[in-house]
Amino acid sequence: MKSREPWLGLASAAGLVVMLIGDGALDVVGLLIAIAPLAYGLAATIRRRERR
Amino acid sequence: MIRTAPAARATPPPADRRRSRWFRLSLWLHRWTSVVATIPFCILCLTGTVLIFHNEIDTALGITPAAQAGESRVAACLQTLAREVPDQRVLSLGVDPIGHPGVLLAVVADPKETGFDHARLIYFNLETGQRLQGDEDPDHTFTGFLLKLHAEWFLGPVGRLLGAFIGLLVVISLLSSLVIYAPYMKKLAFGTIRRTRGARLTQLDLHNLVGAVVIGWALTVSVTGFLIGFSDVAVIAWQLTDLAKVRQEFASTPAVDVRHPPVSADRAIEAALARTPPGWGLSSVIFPGTDYTTPGHYGVLTMGSTGLDARRVNATLVDATTGQVTRQLALPSYLQAVFVSEPLHFGDYGGLPLKLLWTTCSLLTLFIVGNGAWLFFDRRRSRTLAREDLDEVA
């Protein structure tokens, strides 16, 4: 993943499209994909702060 | 003034030089497209954040009335309409079962009007046919004002194109950031914020961290914003091509009285719905003699109820004299692209969780726009100071 985080960020776009196309369970899957980059960024920040 | 050459400026090998040139071009594009778009994009982020909740705000302010969903009685609504605004013509009727269940939206204007620019909205309870309070001009409401600013910069169709241009600048800035991100982050673990090494590095780290996590959302919103900016152009293109052909084909069909068409709108809706696929329902019906129909036909727009179908539009032409379906019109792909872009731009298709995600990403994007501008001007200030120091030494 080193230096490739923006490409993970693009997963949000895929998640939003999945939500638009899908219905029911796919909506939830799409939302999870869409928020994954934000969650990853938050987790990485917390991890770095703990290591300091 | 003494100009000193950089200590080491060895010519890089061809491959590195190419990469370096690509990097420098991307950096230049990122900086300058961002600087040009900074102020308008900040305004778009701020107004967009409020507009995410426009339905809730309008309902809370009593601008968009609410009603209980029940049986649809379009005919009763039309009778009320004819009684209450006898001097006006109807341009279209619309329903929004998800956003405004149980409400019929009528767009009325002076009988001579064929376009929607000088129209006004009137709301009805679909079940009782009663007129609902709250039919203010949407342009003069709080969210209407913000939408005019967000979508058109108060400049009408030209403003929409300006918005598309800003969207294009943002797309270029985001794509170029994909190229320049890696070299900056080569020796830094993702999530690290260097707080003790000066404000510039702290802000740069925050810019890279937040930018990396919101880039997907920002690209989605800016690409769709770019497409929506061309919506007026797309509609005009459709009017000049496909609709013009249909009008030419039915040029011999007699025009009907636009205030009292022989076949009522509810019968036209019934005829059109009988020919639509299962699960599809009414979106709106456009009356004969408007800019979007022929002088003798209703245009009935239907939409699906789930998934992508809920964002696609089918058009059915219904003869306003006989009540028969004349034709089903396939709308061109560029218009369908605009329709599909709208939910991806507004984030109104996933309920509250998606609205909260939209708000979070919008505010984070606002932050990186602001802090990116600070980085840009701080760098210029540092360079100016360094140059002044050199001058003093010389």
Model pLDDT for residues B233-282, shown as the tens digit of each residue:
999 999 999 999 999 999 888 889 988 899 999 999 999 999 888 888 89
Q: For testing the chain A interface, which of B217, B303, B344, B348 should be mutated: the one with the most A CBs within 10 Å?
A: B217
Model pLDDT for residues B146-190, shown as the tens digit of each residue:
999 999 999 988 999 999 999 999 999 999 999 898 888 877 888
Q: What is the pLDDT of residue B290?
A: 94
Q: What is the pLDDT of residue B70?
A: 58
Å from B349 to nearest chain A CA? 7
Residue B385, pLDDT > 50, answer yes
Instruction: Tell me, yes or no, if B179 comes closer than 8 A to chain A by beta carbon.
Output: no
Q: In angstroms, what CA-CA distances link B127 with B67, B130, B161, B307, B314?
A: 9, 8, 40, 27, 25
Instruction: Tell me, yes or no, if A1 comes closer than 8 A to chain B by beta carbon.
Output: yes
For A:15-44, CB contacts with B below 8 A are 15-17, 19-23, 27, 30-31, 34-35, 37-38, 40-41, 43-44
Lowest mean pLDDT among A1-15, B188-202, B306-320: A1-15
Confidence of residue A2 (pLDDT cuts 50, 70, 90): low
Q: Least CA distance to B176: which residue of chain A?
A: A6
Q: Span A13-20, mean pLDDT?
A: 93
Instruction: Tell me, yes or no, if A14 comes closer than 8 A to chain B by beta carbon.
Output: yes
Q: For testing the chain A interface, which of B208, B215, B303 should be mutated: the one with the most A CBs within 10 Å?
A: B215
Q: What is the pLDDT of residue B350?
A: 85
Residue scoring higher pLDDT (B327 or B388): B327
Residue B141, pLDDT > 60, answer yes
Coil, helix or strand for B298? strand
Q: What is the pLDDT of residue B12?
A: 45
Out of A9, A19, A30, whose CB is closest to B212? A9
Q: Are B102 and B33 in contact (CB under 8 A)?
A: no
Structure tokens at B273: 């719905």
Q: Span B136-140, mean pLDDT?
A: 68
Contact A31 B220 (CB under 8 A): no
Q: Which residues of A touch B178 (CB under 8 A)?
A: 6-7
Q: What is the pLDDT of residue B135?
A: 57
Residue B16, pLDDT > 70, answer no
The structure's pTM equals 0.83
Question: Between the ranges A8-12, B117-121, B214-218, where is the mean pLDDT highest?
Answer: B214-218
Confidence of residue B18 (pLDDT cuts 50, 70, 90): low
Q: Among candidates B252, B329, B333, B344, which has minimal Cα distance to B286?
A: B329
Q: Give strand pairing partners of B284.
A: B94, B301
Instruction: Tell me, yes or no, if B187 comes closer than 8 A to chain A by beta carbon.
Output: no
Model pLDDT for residues B324-375, shown as the tens digit of each residue:
999 988 889 999 899 899 999 999 888 899 999 999 999 999 999 999 999 9
Average pLDDT, chain B: 87
Residue B6, pLDDT > 50, answer no
Confidence of residue B8 (pLDDT cuts 50, 70, 90): very low
Instruction: Tell me, yes or no, if B354 comes closer than 8 A to chain A by beta carbon.
Output: yes
Residue B105, pLDDT > 60, answer yes
Provide DSSP, B335-381.
HHHHHHHHHHHH--SSHHHHHHHHHHHHHHHHHHHHHHHHHHHHHHH
Q: What is the pLDDT of residue B367?
A: 96
Contact B344 A16 (CB under 8 A): yes
Confidence of residue B2 (pLDDT cuts 50, 70, 90): very low
Residue B214, pLDDT > 60, answer yes
Q: Which long-range contacts (CB under 8 A, 24 or more apart) does B153-162 make?
A: B153/B40, B157/B232, B160/B228, B160/B229, B160/B230, B160/B231, B160/B232, B161/B229, B161/B230, B161/B233, B162/B229
Confidence of residue A52 (pLDDT cuts 50, 70, 90): low
Confidence of residue B101 (pLDDT cuts 50, 70, 90): confident
Q: Which residues of A touch B192 (CB under 8 A)?
A: 48
Q: Are B369 and B41 in contact (CB under 8 A)?
A: yes
Lowest mean pLDDT among B44-58, B94-108, B126-140, B302-316: B126-140
Confidence of residue B4 (pLDDT cuts 50, 70, 90): very low
Q: Least CA distance to A12: which residue of chain B?
A: B216
Q: C-alpha angle with apex B111: B106 to B113, nearest 5 degrees?
A: 85
Instruction: Show Cβ contacts of residue B356 under 8 Å, excluding neighbours closer than 6 positions.
Output: none
